[in-house]
Amino acid sequence: MSRGKAALVGAVVGLVAGVVLLLAFDPVATYTNDAYRQGAVVGYVLRHMAFGAIGALLLHTVLRGERRRALAGAGIAGILVLAALPIVLDRDEAPEPRQAAPSGFDNADRRIRAEAIAGCTDGMRQRQRRGEVPEAFDAEGYCTCFIDGVAAAPGDDGDQILALDEQTRDGRLTPRLDRLGTRCANDVVG
């Protein structure tokens, strides 16, 4: 088999391995941004295709008995380590923003909550840049408190958060939400 065919076969094997690992471990499920998640999926599969092609070329070198056999063997071991490293390093003890993110598509309320916190935090940081909110204000802490307070009321969390979005755009917060915002701001500052 020529080097070109070996690289092609390796890329196909890498493609299959990448898709299988993606389906088995779903390493991109925690990303709340759909565009980012789609890009991460493509990058994940392309990385495995590249690993497969390079690994096949190195394996081709080893099997053909060419010089530098030990170097090619070390390269294959390195590729296997690089391919497995993200899965091995992924732990449940993720940083707080990742814990707030949904763990998949099965829980729409968690996803809406995470997106609402992210959107609120982005909005508060824009207000900080414009000087409307003090620079030291903990935007993420405030937004987490506020969105959790909205979702704490009886009813469907997702529907409540979506209704909050409409009220915010119209500039007509209910007295309860206004009190909640004041309480969360005091908790973050106080």
Prediction pTM value: 0.43
In angstroms, rounded to a whole number, what is the distance separating the alpha carbons of residues 137 and 187? 11
Instruction: Quickly state the pLDDT bin for 190 (edges 50, 70, 90).
Output: low
Per-residue pLDDT, 157: 57
Instruction: Quickly state the pLDDT bin for 104 (edges 50, 70, 90).
Output: very low
In angstroms, rounded to a whole number, what is the distance separating the alpha carbons of residues 129 and 140? 15
In angstroms, rounded to a whole number, what is the distance separating the alpha carbons of residues 20 and 39? 17
* 56 exposure class (CB count in 10 Å sphere: 0-12, 13-18, 19+): buried
Answer yes or no: is pLDDT of 177 > 60.
Answer: yes
Q: How many residues does the chain have?
A: 190
In angstroms, rounded to a whole number, what is the distance separating the alpha carbons of residues 111 and 102? 5
In angstroms, rounded to a whole number, what is the distance separating the alpha carbons of residues 171 and 136? 25
In angstroms, rounded to a whole number, what is the distance separating the alpha carbons of residues 99 and 84? 23
Answer yes or no: is pLDDT of 166 > 80.
Answer: no
Phi-psi region of 156 (alpha: psi -120 to 50; beta: other; left: phi over 0): beta
Residues 125-152 pLDDT 10s: 888 889 888 888 888 888 888 888 877 7
